Amino acid sequence: MSEATLFGLCGAALVGLGLYGLICHPGALRKILAFNLIGSGVFLLFGVVARRGAASGFGGDPVPQALVITGLVVAFAATALAVALVLRLAQTSGRTGLDPERPGQAEETRRTES
Amino acid sequence: MSGVAETITALQAALSGLGGTLLLFPVMLPLTGLLLAIPLGGRHAARIVLALLPLGLLAAVAIAAAVLDAGAPLRYDLGAWAPPLGVRLQADGLSATLLLTTAVVMLAVGLYALPGFRVPDGSSETRRPFAFWTLLLGVWGGLNLVFLGQDLFNLYVALELLTFSAVPLVCLDGRADTLAAALRYLLFALLGSILYVLGIALLYGEFGTLDIALLREHLAAAGSMPPAAIAAAALMTVGLLAKTALFPLHLWLPPAHAGAPPAASAVLSALVVKASFFLIVRIWFDLMPVLLTQSAAQILGALGAMAIVYGGVLALGQARLKLLVAYSTLAQLGYLFLIFPLAASPAGDATGEVLTGGMLQLVAHACAKAAMFMSAGLIAASLGQDRIQELAGIGRALPITVLAFGVGGLALVGIEPSGAYLAKTLLDGAVQAGGQWWWGLAMQIGGLLTAAYLIRVFFHAVSGFGRPPVLRSRPARYQELLVLGLALCSLALGLVPPSYLALVEVGRVAGVGGPLP
Q: What is the pLDDT of residues B329-345, one digit of tens each?
A: 999 999 999 888 888 87
Strand B74-77 with B88-91, pairing = antiparallel
User: Given pLDDT bands bounded at 50, 70 and 90, which one contains residue B163?
Assistant: very high
- As a whole number of angstroms, the distance between CA B56 and CA B22 comes to 11
Alpha carbon distance B340, B237 (integer Å): 12
* Pick from B20, B90, B92, B106: nearest CA to B355: B92
- Name the 3-class secondary structure at B317: coil
Question: Considering the domain boundaries, does residue B517 fall inside one?
Answer: no
Of A75-79, B37-41, B143-147, which range is least confident? B37-41
What is the pLDDT at residue A105? 43
Put simply, whether B458 touches A (Cβ < 8 Å) is no
pLDDT at B279 over 90: yes
Q: Do B314 and A82 touch (CB under 8 A)?
A: no
Q: What is the pLDDT of residue B240?
A: 94
Q: pLDDT value at position B485?
A: 92
Chain B residue with Cα closest to A80: B164
Q: Residue B230: how many CB atoms within 10 A of its CB?
A: 15
List the domain boundaries for chain A: 3-113
- Smallest CA–CA separation between B235 and chain A, in Å? 12
More confident: A106 or B181:
B181
CA distance B394 to B81: 59
Round the CA-based radius of gyration of chain B to a whole number and report it: 22
Q: Is A102 close to B174, i.e. CB distance below 8 A?
A: no
Chain A residues within 8 Å of chain B (Cβ atoms): 15, 22, 28, 31-32, 35, 38-39, 42, 45-46, 48-49, 52-53, 61, 63-64, 67, 70-71, 74, 77-78, 81-82, 85-86, 88-89, 92-93, 95, 98, 102-105, 108, 111
- In chain B, residues with a C-beta closer than 8 Å to the C-beta of A74 are 156-157, 160, 193
CB contact under 8 A, A45 and B198: yes
- pLDDT mean over B258-264: 90
Which residues 311-340 of B are in CB contact (within 8 Å) with A? 314, 317
What DSSP assignment string belongs to B414-434? Answer: T-TTSHHHHHHHHHHHHHHHH
Three-class SS string for B332-344? HHHHHHCHHHHHC
The burial of B466, by beta-carbon neighbours within 10 Å (0-12 exposed, 13-18 middle, 19 or more buried), is given as exposed
Nearest CA to CA, how far is A22 from chain B (Å)?
8
Looking at the complex, report in whole angstroms how far the Cα of residue A7 sits from the nearest Cα belonging to chain B: 14
Q: Please report whether residue B516 resides in a domain.
A: no
Q: Is B255 on the interface with A (CB under 8 A)?
A: yes
A-chain CB neighbours of B193 within 8 Å are: 74, 78
- CA-based torsion, B229, B233, B234, B238: positive or negative: positive
Would you call A91 exposed, middle or buried from its count of C-beta atoms within 10 A (0-12, 13-18, 19+)? Answer: exposed
Task: Identify the residue among A19, A67, A72, A83 best suited for mutation to test binding to B, counting B beta carbons within 10 A and taking the highest.
Answer: A67
Q: Closest to A38 (Cβ–Cβ): which among B171, B186, B194? A: B194
Using a CB-CB cut-off of 8 Å, the residues of chain A touching B156 are: 74
Average pLDDT of the residues in B354-382: 90
Lowest-confidence region among A29-43, B125-139, B463-477: B463-477
Write down the pLDDT at residue A63: 85
Task: Please tell me the total count of domains within chain B.
Answer: 1
- Strand partners of residue B88: B77
In this predicted structure, the answer to whether residue B177 has a pLDDT above a threshold of 70 is: yes
How close, in Å, is residue B244 to chain A by CA atoms? 18
Count of C-beta atoms within a 10 Å radius of residue B175 = 13
User: What is the reported pLDDT for B267?
Assistant: 94
> Residue B254 is nearest to which of A28, A78, A104, comparing CB atoms?
A104
Residue contact A67–B204, C-beta within 8 A: yes
Residue A57 is predicted with a pLDDT of 59
CB contact under 8 A, B205 and A15: no
* Closest listed residue to residue B299, CA positions, set B357, B364, B233: B233
How open is the CA angle B190-B273-B66, to the nearest 5 degrees? 120
Mean pLDDT of B291-301: 82
Segment B16-20 mean pLDDT: 74
Model pLDDT, residue A77: 93
User: The complex's ipTM?
Assistant: 0.86
Residue at B115 is within a domain: yes
Asked which of B7-11, B372-376, B380-384 is least confident by mean pLDDT, the reply is: B7-11
Is the pLDDT at B55 greater than 60? The verdict is: yes
Of the candidates B367, B330, B492, the residue with the CA atom closest to the CA atom of residue B421: B492
* C-alpha distance across the termini of chain A, in Å: 58
pLDDT tens track of chain A, all 114 residues? 677 888 889 999 999 999 999 988 888 899 999 999 999 999 999 988 887 765 555 667 888 888 999 999 999 999 999 999 999 988 888 777 776 444 444 444 444 444
Boundaries of domain holding B55? 17-505
B351-355: long-range contacts at Cβ-Cβ below 8 A with a sequence spacing of 24 or more?
B351/B285, B351/B508, B351/B511, B351/B512, B352/B505, B352/B508, B353/B426, B353/B429, B353/B430, B354/B426, B354/B427, B354/B430, B355/B94, B355/B281, B355/B285, B355/B504, B355/B505, B355/B508
Interchain contact, B198 vs A15, CB within 8 Å:
yes
CATH class of A3-113: mainly alpha
- Mean pLDDT (chain B) is 86
Whole-number pLDDT of residue B511: 46
| Mean pLDDT across B32-37 | 91
Over residues B209-225, the mean pLDDT reads: 85
Q: Does B168 touch chain A (CB under 8 A)?
A: yes
